[in-house]
Amino acid sequence: MSDRSQHSDPRLSWTPVSGSELTDILANHRRFLERRPGGQRAMLAFCDLSGQDLSGHDLSEADMTGVRMHRANLRRTCLRGANLFGGDLRMANLAHANLTRADLRGTCLRGVDLSDAVAVDADVREAKLARQDGNGDPQTVQFDSLPAELSAIIAHRADFTQSQVCGAMVLQTDFSDARLTNVNFRNADLRNSILIGTTLDGADLSSTNLSGCTLTGATLSGARIVGANFARADIRGAVLDDAAYDAPEMLDAIRAKTPANAWDRLGETLKAHRLWVDSSGQEGRRANLSDTDLSGWKRPGCNLAAAVMERCVLRGVDFSGSELAMAQFAFADLREANFAGADLRGIALSRAVLRDADLTGANLGPVENIGRKGQSWSANLEYAKLSGACLKDAVLTGARMTYADLSDCDLSGADLRHADLQGALLKGANLNGARMDGAQRLG
């Protein structure tokens, strides 16, 4: 390898690696992973790979302790079980990378793109770091602690399930629609992070700083929040356990305020809305029940077509057989809701939570011939959480369902022709007899 380059601190150095050297290391590591003769594990500890293109390579189990990889291209790189302890990956591209069970303790990931990355069971805790001095001898850097840093990262749809992120710096990070189920964030600093549509079920948020975070559409069922700071955190449209919603930790959070007389005025609201629908908007008033808690509302057969009900809490409602075409339910809590046989054509359910809901025989097809140009308006279920829902015999023709969670759904006999299912999670779904002609799916 080439001569060592000195860091501004004379005690610390990283070893530059040329392109040809890296090519040989990668070839030997591939043979190592395939257990072929001549194989050798990639030993890249304290190497400088800044700006290198490692996209698509398999570096599983590689030793990359203290590696320096500023702005490196690691898109779709496999780093399963790799040791990145104390590494510096600032501004690297790790989109679609696999970091399952990787050792990321004390690693700096500031500004990294982790969109669609998988980091299941990764260890992102704080650490103390030993680096080499200029003579190649071990030199311990005496920090009280070296927290892992994930500040300003982009992690759209990333999967950090069961990862250890306690004590980490996660400031101003975008975890939109990420899967953070059972993640340990104890004592982590997530101030001003974006957690829109994020799954935080079972996460340990004890003593975590979530002040200023946006949690619209996030789910926190079973999350532990003792000692957490939710000051100025926007929890409108978030799904919380009843105990958590009323916990003292939530007192300073931004939450929806249901009008005191909301229930008393429902009849008047429905009457005005029906008149608005029947007169094509010339009379009456369009119903807007956004941010209202109407859990358990029983209104089968009602007409709320085109109503606005964003971020509503509607757990266990009965809308069976109802007219809800083109209604807006984005970010709504619709767990265990009954939509059986309902007209849901062109409905907006993006990032809504419909776990265990009943949509048997519901019509979620498009609304046709809208306006003078005769346009078609498809149902929008993008990023919706429908795990365990019943969609048996439902019409989903042309529905937009990108990245929807359809795991364990009953889709038997459903009409999914020309539906957009790119990125949708279908693990355990029952698709017996479903029509999939023209449906778009990844892979």
Q: Are 394 and 361 in contact (CB under 8 A)?
A: yes
Rounded to whole angstroms, the Cα distance separating 429 from 403 reads 14
CATH number for the domain including 271? 2.160.20.80
Q: How far apart are CA 275 and CA 150, in angstroms?
A: 52
CB 337 within 8 A of CB 329: no
pLDDT given at position 122:
97
Domain assignment of residue 316, given as a range? 261-443
Q: Is residue 402 part of a domain?
A: yes
How confident is the model over 307-315, as a mean pLDDT? Answer: 95
Q: pLDDT tens, 168-217?
A: 999 999 999 999 999 999 999 999 999 999 999 999 999 999 999 999 99
Express as a percent the part of the chain with pLDDT over 70: 92
Residue 151 belongs to a domain: no
Model confidence pLDDT, tens digit, residues 1-23: 333 333 344 445 899 999 899 99
Picking from 90, 86, 43, the residue whose alpha carbon sits closest to that of residue 66 is 86
367-394 average pLDDT score: 90
- 47 in any annotated domain: no
Q: Is residue 237 part of a domain?
A: no
Contacts of 9 (CB under 8 A, 6+ apart): none
CA atoms within 13 A on the CB side of 205: 27
| Average confidence (pLDDT) over 209-233 | 97
* Mean pLDDT of the region 376-395: 97
Q: Is the pTM value of this prediction over 0.95?
A: no
Question: Cα separation of 75 and 120, whole Å?
Answer: 17
Name the phi and psi angles at 6, rounded to 5.
-90, 135
Within 13 A of 53's CA, how many CA atoms are on the CB side?
A: 1
- Tell whether 342 is covered by a domain: yes
Tens-place pLDDT, residues 25-43:
999 999 999 999 989 999 9
Distance CA 248, CA 229 (A): 10
Among residues 210, 154, 212, the alpha carbon closest in space to that of 220 is found at 210
- Residue 357 belongs to a domain: yes
pLDDT of residue 372: 65
Structural domain count of the chain: 1
- Residue 368 placed within a domain: yes
pLDDT of 442 reads: 64
Whether the predicted pLDDT of 355 surpasses 70: yes
Residue 311 lies in a domain: yes
Question: Nearest-5° angle of CA 119, CA 403, CA 294?
Answer: 110
